[in-house]
Amino acid sequence: MLHLYYILIFFNLITKPIPNEYNIIAFGAKEDAITLNTQFIQNAIDKAYKNGGGKVIIPKGKFLTGSIVLKSGVELHLQKKAVLLGSTNIEDYISIHIWKALILADSATNISITGDGTIDGQGAELALNIDSLFHIGEIDSMYYEMKEKRPYATLRPHIIQFQNCKNISIKNVTLKNSACWVQTYERCKNLMIDGVNVDSDAYWNSDGIDVIDCKNVRITNCFINSSDDGICLKSEDFSLNHYSDSIYIANCTVRSSASAVKFGTSLVSGIKNVVIKNIKVFNTFRSAIAIECTQGGYIENVLIDNIVAKNTGNAIFIRIGKIRGANKAGPLRNVIIKNVKVTVPFDNPDIKYNIRGPELPFFHNVFPSSITGNPGVFVENVILENIEIIYPGRGNKAFSYIPLYRLDDIPENETHYPEFSMFGELPAWGFYIRHVKGLTLRNVMLSIKKPDYRPAIVFDDAHAVRIEKLKIKGDDKKQIFFFKDTSDFKFLNYKK
């Protein structure tokens, strides 16, 4: 009997819940996908926080909830087959600053979301319910995009929105079906996102990951399928006290109905010291790489290495501009892009997806990659090395035509929203380069599958250009390059 007594004591010890774990079931949560569990989950978070931190467990099942606020020292852990369902009633969401979200945090330290479960924002249902509020007169038209016929992004909740937080870990979870941006981190430090699966093609504006004015960021081993930009770096601090710095992104796969890896469009303060490596891109509507310095801030010290993009509408888009009332442009400088292979299709690359990139209101041939500054404001010190871009060709003068003697007719569009189609028809099939100072093309191969009437590369107001081992494949025309207002060129080892 005594022996059995000690066995029972030992069994109770090993089965007793670990003191710093808080299962939401114990706080009243129901796994029926009907009961609104917001307060039960928040009570578990608050209890863990009050006790100095701990792990809040979302067990197997479907748990409906509105906004919850994560607090310092708390890990939200979703067990396998656990699903956290976002409410489809906008009244169940709150905002801490501007954005509403399912999971929020402000000024918290040592917070994390982990596990093999799923957070499902039910974004299409939620967004359409918000849309209906406009039609019955409960949302003012000032908050409704009349042209696109949908509520403004600020009315549609994100899945995750963290601001002013430190020491953040998001690991292994699946985030799906957001009504707006999937996850946003603003003015945060020491952010790690690893092994996260994003599947959000349910509604508009669902960027996969947005990093805004954050420092010391690692994004690794993630899969992103989004109906807007895949991984997006921004800067939105008008006080200029915050900026994005020391960011490492590696070993990710991205599919996007916008751009796969993007800097901007919001760029008020700046972004610097960024390394992006080993990225696979597929079926993406806009650019594999988009570096958009267009709201008065700066971009500098960027290394992008080993990008493979298949069936992607544009390879490389680098742009300086002045949008949203910015009173200056740039600088954009010190960018190295190397070991890149992109295949550009003739037709829309995302045609099979729920949300697709917008059709353009004008006829055009396939767009080239482009590097463009503004008059007197140059994109500076860019190196493109070991680059291969395969184009479909089929450029046709009868379809759309900008002759080379009309280069001045190509608009500057300094204040237009930046995207690879922003200038209309372009007079090159491979690269269009304008207002650039300090450009090296090293071991670059551009090829077309079918004939194209345009030269491969047009240089306009380009200076200090070094071309080292450039190969043009599939173009038998005599005129491969065109130069206007250029200086200080050096060609080494050019082949057709």
Place of tokens 């759309």: 400
Residue 6 has pLDDT above 80, yes or no: no
Give the per-residue pLDDT at 494: 66
Q: pLDDT band at 241, cuts 50/70/90?
A: very high
* 92 vs 64: CA distance, rounded Å: 11
Closest CA to 212 of 233, 189, 242: 233
Q: What DSSP element (H or E) covers 15?
A: helix 2-15
Whether 7 has a pLDDT exceeding 70, the answer reads no
Which band of pLDDT confidence, cut at 50, 70 and 90, is reported for residue 18? low
Q: Does 224 fall in a domain?
A: yes
As a whole-number percent, the residues of the chain with pLDDT over 70 amount to 95
Q: What is the structure's pLDDT at 141?
A: 82
CA 488 to chain centre: 36
Please indicate, yes or no, if residue 215 is contained in any of the structural domains: yes
Indicate the residue type of 148. E
User: What pLDDT, on the 0 to 100 scale, is given for residue 19?
Assistant: 53
Q: For the residues 219-233, what does the mean pLDDT come to?
A: 98
User: Looking at the domain assignment, is residue 44 inside a domain?
Assistant: no
The CB density around residue 154, as the number of other CB atoms within 10 Å, is: 12
3-state secondary structure of 24: helix
- Are 447 and 470 in contact, with CB atoms under 8 Å apart? no
Total structural domains in the chain? 1
One-letter amino acid at 271 equals I
Averaged over 214-235, what is the pLDDT? Answer: 98
The answer on pLDDT for 493 being more than 80 is no
Tens-place pLDDT, residues 289-326: 999 999 999 999 999 999 999 999 999 999 999 999 99
- The whole-number pLDDT of residue 144 equals 84
Residue 199 has pLDDT above 60, yes or no: yes
Residue 495 to residue 314: CA distance in whole angstroms: 24
Measured in degrees and rounded to the nearest 5, phi and psi for residue 66 equal -100, -155
| Structural domain for 386, as ranges | 202-496
50 vs 16 pLDDT, higher one: 50
Average pLDDT, the chain: 94
- Tens of pLDDT, residue by residue over 88-132, are 999 999 999 889 999 999 999 999 999 999 999 999 999 999 999
Average pLDDT over residues 434-448: 98
Judge whether 94 lies within some domain. Answer: no
Asked, for residue 97, whether it belongs to a domain, the answer is no
| Rounded Cα–Cα distance for residues 474 and 371 (Å) | 23
pTM for the whole structure: 0.94
Residue 460 lies in a domain: yes
**Peptide bond preceding 331 in cis form (omega within 30 of 0):** yes
309 burial level (CB within 10 Å; 0-12, 13-18, 19+): buried
End-to-end CA distance of the chain: 91
User: What is the amino acid identity at position 415?
Assistant: T
3-state secondary structure of 45: helix
Task: Please indicate, yes or no, if residue 434 is contained in any of the structural domains.
Answer: yes
Cis peptide preceding 312, ω within 30 of 0: no
- The confidence score (pLDDT) of residue 379 equals 98
Report yes or no on 178 lying in a domain.
no
- Using CA atoms, how far apart are residues 390 and 481, in angstroms rounded to an integer? 17
pLDDT in tens, 330-343: 999 999 999 999 99
